[in-house]
Structure 1
């Protein structure tokens, strides 16, 4: 740029005696101003194009940002659903395990009761067997005594 706004305000044209202002000086100044004006217009146009490109880039990145935010929200909801489902499944597994454990304990108590009942029956059978064996032995001893007494009576007679 050749002239600043302050320079333009302070330009003074020389006067010639017959023709007024010096045409060559005015034409040179106007040419420089025209060059500056064209350069500014070109620079302004380039900046406008850059602004359009930057606006499109910002729009693109905003779209990506919105997409990422949406994706994060979906991921968070999915994570919460997975966590809830896992918690529910874990609770179901625990409930089922507790029920199975109760069934196993209940069956064990029933088997213990059955074994105790069978033990008592065997004990009764053993007592009955012992009493019968004792009765048989007592009867046999009694018979042996009687047989010995008879032999002793026969031998004394």
Structure 2
């Protein structure tokens, strides 16, 4: 390709007949100037093309890197999703097992609490029945003849005490080997013995009932 300098330095041989030298020189000057402008523009465009090629190569490398990164990201994302699903499944299974265990423990505790509550209610019923029986026995005892002391009995006891006092005075006054009891004294003694026997019987019944109640209470505590 011709350069502007080569065009400017081009010379022609003279001949007898030919073009006007001035016109040829003027034309060459114009062509040289235009060609120089085109030449410089061509060089500039080539430089730009080279720069663009370099940039294009750089961007292609970046594109390859991005594609690799994108593929890696997609692979990683898929692996992450698969792993997350597996972890979610494991966590869900563990949560279900833990919930089942908690529910089972709660049922056991509820059953134990129900058993304890039932046992306490049964104990309460037994204690209530025993206390009612004890109160009824005490009430029956209070309503029995053992506590029905009338005026005649009080007089008999009083007479017995007076006779006993007189008998004691006589014994202190003189020794007596045999003493005949009067009919009133015999009656008073018999009434006193009957009263003591009744009290002893009632006391024995209360004692037996108390021992039975204490025995049942000890068995429940064991």
**Is TM > 0.5 for Structure 1 vs Structure 2?**
yes
Alignment TM-score, normalising by the size of structure 1: 0.60
Give structure 1 stretches of 5+ with no counterpart.
1-17
Is 1:135 the counterpart of 2:140? The answer is no
Consecutive unaligned residues of structure 2, counting only runs of 5 or more, are 1-14, 157-186, 188-222
CA–CA separation in structure 2 for the residues paired with 1:42 and 1:97: 78
Any idea what the Cα deviations from partners look like across 1:88-132, whole Å, max 9, x if unmatched? 444443333333322222222111111111111112222222332
CA distance in 1, matches of 2:58, 2:20: 54
What is aligned with 2:99? 101
In the other structure, the counterpart of 1:147 is 146
* Larger CA Rg, structure 1 vs 2: 2
TM-score (structure 2 length as normaliser): 0.46
Shift of 1:20: 4.0
What is the alpha-carbon root mean square deviation over aligned residues? 3.8
Count of equivalent residues: 138
Matched residues in 1 for 2:84 and 2:145: separation?
A: 88
Q: Distance in 1 between matches of 2:19 and 2:114?
A: 137
Match of 2:32 in 1: 35
Greater RCO (CA < 8 Å, at least 6 residues apart)? 2
Q: Which stretches of structure 1, 4 residues or more, deviate above 6 A after TM superposition?
A: none
Q: How does 1:16-35 map to 2 (within 5 A)?
A: 19-22=16-19, 24=21, 28=25, 31=28, 35=32
Following the alignment from structure 2 to structure 1, what is the Cα–Cα distance between the partners of residues 135 and 44?
132
Change (3 A) 1:126 1:46: closer
The superposition leaves residues 16-68 of structure 1 with CA deviations (integer Å, 9 ceiling, x where unpaired) of: xx824348379648955983796355554544443333222211111122222
1:1-157 matches, cutoff 5 A: 19-22=16-19, 24=21, 28=25, 31=28, 35=32, 39=36, 43-144=41-142, 145-148=144-147, 155=153
Supply the distance in 1 between the matched residues of 2:47 and 2:31 (Cα, whole angstroms): 22
